A and B are shown apart, each in its own frame.
Chain A
């Protein structure tokens, strides 16, 4: 068995990529007992902060963990290896922690976190690469090859790898997209997000995956139930992205915001306590994605909890 690599990506910022990543990681670990690795490729480090807290992100960096250190490995032409940069424990759910304590692991979350230094390292790499006649495409290809080789030994340890991509086509994001088996596109039901989603979709078809429609799972997030939002969502589903699979619509909710603000690196919460009024949405997100992944790739993930 090897992990299913899924990129969570959209050119538009603020559409819930990191939130969707964390919700899905928790949902797949909790309901299906999967071991999930979250790789944060976005220098804003939002999913890393949600899983580890800000202090945890800095502590990880101080310990040599994180995507910026991984990028340095590439720059320094060291042998590809992702393992040393992974935080093996990024679990926030009490049920998963307790099960592990009893030697009965029922789902787990690990993270290769990002850090704001990542963008500076990328800029430095881009300057060097382009000044030596390299192009964005050759850099993305070289990084993709490095990442593939680096991940190869660790993929059997995980069921799913979630790549949280930044809202722009950074070299590392392009490399990550080139490795993905499936693509999740979070979007918001408004005009500018629809525009960004269409642009991203077209770019991905042209440059990464001609069969994107087959491998794309769209999630409308931060949904405010108004006639305007319903109309835009209907357009997305019926016109622009009618050949895609849609996940559940995630409502705009204070529960989501609070769930993403971990109190401290040693703070845990029950699934119901963490997600409160959106527990059902996280459940449906995991369930629908599991069905989608099963239909597209043949993986079969039995439910561990009701």
Chain B
């Protein structure tokens, strides 16, 4: 362990941040949580976003333009996976839909779910 090594503080920090940097590169979910904790806005490669983003949180916290910017680069199969894995659509619901129709569905249903869970019954 480092306690026996004689490194100056900057070298310790370099090692620490190197490890963190490596982990952030390999683990987009951790990257998302860290950037969010720091108050930033996460931008993903299209390959990572579907595995990491929670459409309910995006719909609740971001505007519609940000929502579309996040999901528009994804492939149709990825958007379908987001819809199904978040219980926002069934295989029947997504059949034959275009990417734009799927993103509309994702936004509408995620927003509705958030609003109905916030809703007060009257």
- Rounded to whole angstroms, the CA-CA distance of A258 and B117 in the bound complex is 16
- With beta carbons under 8 angstroms apart, the residue of A53, A94, A117, A258 that contacts B92 is A94
Neighbouring A residues of B89 by C-beta, 8 Å: 263-264, 267
Neighbouring B residues of A268 by C-beta, 8 Å: 90, 92-93
- Rounded to whole angstroms, the CA-CA distance of A116 and B119 in the bound complex is 12
- Rounded to whole angstroms, the CA-CA distance of A268 and B88 in the bound complex is 11
A65, CB-defined interface residue at 8 Å = no
A146, CB-defined interface residue at 8 Å = no
A296, CB-defined interface residue at 8 Å = no
Contact with B along A246-289 (1 / 0, CB 8 A): 00000000000010010110011110011000000000000000
Neighbouring A residues of B91 by C-beta, 8 Å: 269-270, 273
Cβ of A117 and Cβ of B121 under 8 Å apart? Answer: yes
- With beta carbons under 8 angstroms apart, the residue of A54, A258, A270 that contacts B119 is A54
Neighbouring B residues of A72 by C-beta, 8 Å: none
A181, CB-defined interface residue at 8 Å = no
B81, CB-defined interface residue at 8 Å = no
**Are A55 and B116 CB-contacts (below 8 A) given A115-B121, A117-B121, A258-B87?**
yes
Nearest CB of A to B66, in Å: 22
- Rounded to whole angstroms, the CA-CA distance of A55 and B122 in the bound complex is 12
Cβ of B121 and Cβ of A263 under 8 Å apart? Answer: no
Q: B residues 94-122 with Cβ under 8 Å of A? A: 109, 112, 116-117, 119, 121-122
Neighbouring B residues of A73 by C-beta, 8 Å: none
Closest residue on chain B to residue A260 by CB atoms: B87
Nearest CB of B to A68, in Å: 10
Cβ of B112 and Cβ of A55 under 8 Å apart? Answer: yes
Nearest CB of A to B104, in Å: 12
Closest residue on chain B to residue A266 by CB atoms: B93
- With beta carbons under 8 angstroms apart, the residue of A54, A117, A264 that contacts B109 is A264
**Are A116 and B121 CB-contacts (below 8 A) given A55-B116, A94-B92, A268-B92?**
yes
**What are the 3 A-B residue pairs with the smallest beta carbon separation, nearest first?**
A269-B90, A54-B116, A55-B116
| B residues in contact (CB < 8 Å) with A | 87-93, 109, 112, 116-117, 119, 121-122
A–B complex contacts, Cβ < 8 Å, 12 sampled: A53-B116, A55-B119, A58-B119, A58-B122, A94-B90, A261-B87, A263-B93, A264-B88, A267-B90, A268-B92, A269-B91, A270-B90
Query: Given A58-B121, A263-B90, A270-B91, 5 other A-B contacts at CB below 8 A?
Result: A263-B89, A263-B109, A269-B90, A269-B91, A270-B92
